[in-house]
Amino acid sequence: MRFFRLFKIIFVVLRFGLDEFLLAHARGHWLHFPLKTLLFLRDTSAPRAVRLRLALESLGPIFVKFGQMLSTRRDLMPTDLADELAKLQDQVPPFPSAQSITLLEATYGKPLLETFKSFEETPVASASVAQVHFAVLHDNREVAIKILRPGIKHVIDHDIALLKIVADLMEWLWADGRRLKPRLVIEEFEKHLTDELDLTREAANGSLLKRNFARSNLLLVPEMYWDYCTSEVMVMERMYGMPISQVEGLRAANVDIPRLAANGVEIFYTQVFRDGFFHADMHPGNVQVAADGRYIALDFGIMGTLTDTDKHYLAQNFIAFFRRDYKRVAEVHIESGWAPADTRVDELEAAIRAVCEPIFDRPLREVSFGRVLLRLFQTSRRFGIEIQPQLVLLQKTLLNIEGLGLQLDPELDLWKTAKPWLERWMSEQIGWRGFFKALREEAPHYATLIPQLPRLLHQRLHENPAAGIETAMAMLLIQQRRRNTLLTVIAGILLMQLVWMCWLLTG
């Protein structure tokens, strides 16, 4: 079975003339003669990027999905390939409804109509990994049921193994193979696919996003019905909305389009900087608009996460960019660990200036945050900067959000919308408001810790009066160190005072 699949891959590679990628390397010279005998198979009339897209489409949904992911790795892919792969559409014929019913009955251990009051056999959506049916529960709640394709795990394991073989050949035969790291890219792809195969995980993602926006009047997230969710089936609230791509229909429904576009930008920055948890697959198929103008988020298989440190440095980067403070941008890259510690600030600053100055010669309304990140990723290779996966997801999502926003409102000023939000967030993080917020968050912890300090320090002093103070101070300060410097200073002052009291008591 695997042999025939590999044979098909080779056939498709030759048919679309993709062997040119392999023959670009000296190691592939021995392939010239045997491939010349198969020239009748080749069609090289289209550009190489188009041929690559068509080849992936002919190999099936898993390869299409792989191509979609490759299109987001613009830090690795040549521009022509990335632009063409972004056109891939994951439109997969549905599997038979009888299989859906069989799987649901096996999952719940009873006939379908004992679990659901009604079930629509025709799926409403179908993709490479799963398809969706509408149904009604016996308590009249309307639901959407996402069901994994039968046998999909075996198909994925099979195709991933073949992709790894292809990756190894690319690294050996293609001139750019080692730099593009195809093996690592495929392993990253495998991880994302594995996550998508666990619908319990996706349901948990949706549940967290809903909780994060529980008090928001901008975004609706369907409720997950956990009693019906398993790793192969996800049952959630059915949402009613209009696809965001139907702009004329939204206008006819009296939706305020400019406000909708601005709200989309605000939702994105709220997810990224407030929550550090964002929907990373915001293409038009996963976004609808409710009758009251609120966004509806669907499909939570791909979510991005950011640490507090990532959020802090990203906000500083964005603000420094639009102040044209390129030295600060370079410093932030090094401070964050994104650039090697021995990177010369002046050289990185000059490279960033060369990327950004042409962009900022245009009105700020025309500046794309996603394009700025993309150009920086491309520039970063010469400085040995390893692009963090969470930042690649962020850049991909940012491009999606900007595309949606500008599709809705071509006059949308992304900077005007984002700058006040970012500056307010930075003020909350590092200004006085940020200090008191952090103090409130840490207060319960310190309220528990501080009464214990005299006893802990006394124990150490009793064991070794000379070394105990230094050791205890170091351990406690390390344990209580936080990213907010003022809190650390206060904790240090309190500890010093307690040490002095204990020294007096034991002296």
Residues 487-506: b if buried by 16+ CB within 10 A, e if exposed: beeebeeebeebbeebeeee
Residues 37-47: b if buried by 16+ CB within 10 A, e if exposed: eeeeebeeeee
191 CB neighbour count, 10 Å cutoff: 11
Q: What does the pLDDT read at residue 202?
A: 95
Give the chain's length. Answer: 507
Residues of the chain with pLDDT under 70: 1-6, 19-44, 72-77, 89-91, 170, 172-181, 359-374, 376-378, 380-381, 384-390, 392, 415, 429-443, 445-450, 452-507
- Measured in whole angstroms, the distance separating CA 124 from the mean position of its chain's CA atoms is 26
Q: What does the pLDDT read at residue 486?
A: 43
Distance, CA of 80 to CA of 28 (rounded, Å): 23
Give the side-chain half-sphere CA count within 13 A for 399: 17
268, exposed or middle or buried, with CB in 10 Å at 0-12, 13-18, 19+?
Answer: buried
Where exactly are the structural domains of the chain? 2-91+152-195, 240-430, 435-506
pTM above 0.85, yes or no: no
276 CB neighbour count, 10 Å cutoff: 18
For residue 392 the two structure tokens come to 């690649």
Q: What does the pLDDT read at residue 140?
A: 96
Instruction: State the Cα angle at 275 between 128 and 295, rounded to 5°.
Output: 55
Active site residues per annotation: 281
Q: What does the pLDDT read at residue 432?
A: 63
